[in-house]
Amino acid sequence: MELNQDWRKLQSTFFPSAFPMRKQAMDQAGPILCIEDRGTALALFSEGGDLSEWMGAPLDEIRGHFPSRVVITIPQSTMDSSILESLGQAHLDAQVEGWRSTVVDQGAIFGVSKKSGKKAESNGSDQELVERHLQRRRHFLLDALKDSWWTKVLPSAFGIFLRLEGGNAPKDFLLVYRKGKLEQFGAPDLTFLSSDRRKDSADVVKYLADRFMLPVQGVLVREEDWNLWSEQPSPWREIAWGVQSSRVQLVPLRWGVLSILATRGMLGF
């Protein structure tokens, strides 16, 4: 497939273990998420739990039955609007982000926050509590390219070429950002290059830059390291050390890129 949105490759490259936090026991269950209509539960969700028998039940009854569980509710009309609005987004991750924002901004949270021990009978005003109870899928690189100050210093359009080495053949992945949004992602088509040129990452980066008409930064890293870092929320220090010890190679070596990596690695932002 021509590079567009290769979801499968994105998942396997950036989220090698899809659900790393699934070791928690059932008694430490996460929040109950509920889409409601006029005080009645329409749809309920709780990871690993079957709440189907509660569909159609009044919210008060559900809260009464699960006094020690956090219940986050969102009106159906709000959720429907959010889903429809999200259709303009380029891909599912961006769409999910929109839904999540809606739940955080307009959801109501009930129950006890176990961490703080604080009674949270808030009426949708405590966005922080909702945010805290909703796990978020994160990847250090995707987050940095989306939410951090990097967005202010990076060009409006650029590509990141990732080459994971270590197996029989390297695994290549290209992210294309335009106007701050991840627009295309997938394994780049390098069939126009000879097999020798394909091995040369500098040649590949140059070819991709010409083809997509944007600056491309190549990053060469061992697959084992990459998978380990992908599990961590902020492995920037290791990455910065990796660059210094040549475990991570930047192609071409741009001083600007190196400095923002170093800043993040050493100073933590």
Partner 1 sequence: MNYWEFRPTVLVERLDDLLKKGVTEVVSFVPWQAVEADISHALTRFLQAAAERKITVQLVVSPEVGISYPNSGIPRDVLAKSECLALNAEGKPCVQVSSPNSHTLPSLLAPEFQKRYQSYLQRVDHFLLDVMRRSEPGVLDRVQLVLTGSYWKYYRVPSQCLVTAFDGMAGDYSAAAGMIFRNRVEQRFSDPEFCEPSPASANRWKQKSMEEVNRRWFYQQSEDQFRTKAGHFFNRKALSVAVEQMELFSPESDPAFLYSRVLSHVSNAKADFTKLAGLVDEAATHRAQASGSSVAPWVNWGATGSFASLSMSEKQFLILKGILLLASQSGGVLVDSEEWFSLSDSFRRKAESLARSLGNGEYRLRQRVFYWNSHLWSSGGGLWDELEGRLGSLCRMIASEEALRGEEGMDADLLVVDPSLILTRSEMVHLLTWTRGGRVTAIPRSVLYTERARAELSRVTNGAQRLDLHVGVPFELYTMGEGKLVIYDSQVLDKAESLEVHRQFIQALMGLGAIKNPCVMSDSRLQVIGLERRGGGRGIFVLNPQQRALESDLIFPNDVCVEDLGQQLQNSDAGSSAELSGVSAQKFHLEVPPCGVLPMQVLDVQWEDELERRQAARLAEQADRMAESMAAGALAGWNAPNAGELPWN
- Pick 55 or 266: Cβ nearer partner 1: 55
- Pick 17 or 156: Cβ nearer partner 1: 17
Of 1-9, 205-213, 233-241, 248-256, the segment contacting partner 1 by CB under 8 A is 1-9
Q: Which of 57, 58, 78, 96 binds partner 1 (CB under 8 A)?
A: 96
What is the C-alpha to C-alpha distance for residues 186 and 3, in angstroms, rounded to an integer? 6
- 227 lies in the binding site for partner 1 (CB under 8 A): no
Which DSSP state fits 31? P
What is the C-alpha to C-alpha distance for residues 39 and 64, in angstroms, rounded to an integer? 14
Binding to partner 1, residues 41-60 (CB under 8 A): 42-43, 45, 47-48, 50, 52, 55-56
Q: Are 108 and 72 in contact (CB under 8 A)?
A: yes
- Pick 98 or 215: Cβ nearer partner 1: 98
- 135 lies in the binding site for partner 1 (CB under 8 A): yes
- 33 lies in the binding site for partner 1 (CB under 8 A): yes
Answer whether the bond into residue 170 is a cis peptide, omega within 30°: no
Pairing of strands 157-165, 248-251: unpaired
- Compute how many other C-beta atoms are within 10 angstroms of the C-beta atom of residue 109: 27
Q: Which two tokens stand for residue 237?
A: 């220090």
Q: Which of 58, 76, 122, 250 binds partner 1 (CB under 8 A)?
A: 76
Q: Is 185 helix (H, G, I), strand (E, B) or coil?
A: strand
Q: Which of 16, 63, 78, 89 binds partner 1 (CB under 8 A)?
A: 89
- Pick 86 or 263: Cβ nearer partner 1: 86
Q: Which of 17, 37, 149, 224 binds partner 1 (CB under 8 A)?
A: 37
Q: Are 44 and 54 in contact (CB under 8 A)?
A: yes
What is the C-alpha to C-alpha distance for residues 86 and 80, in angstroms, rounded to an integer? 10
What is the C-alpha to C-alpha distance for residues 63 and 58, in angstroms, rounded to an integer? 9
Q: Which of 95, 106, 127, 148 binds partner 1 (CB under 8 A)?
A: 95
CA atoms within 13 A on the CB side of 174: 25
Residue ranges in contact with partner 1 by CB under 8 A: 1-2, 4-8, 10-11, 18-19, 22, 26, 30-31, 33, 35, 37, 42-43, 45, 47-48, 50, 52, 55-56, 76, 79-80, 83-84, 86-87, 89-92, 95-96, 99-100, 103, 134-137, 189, 191
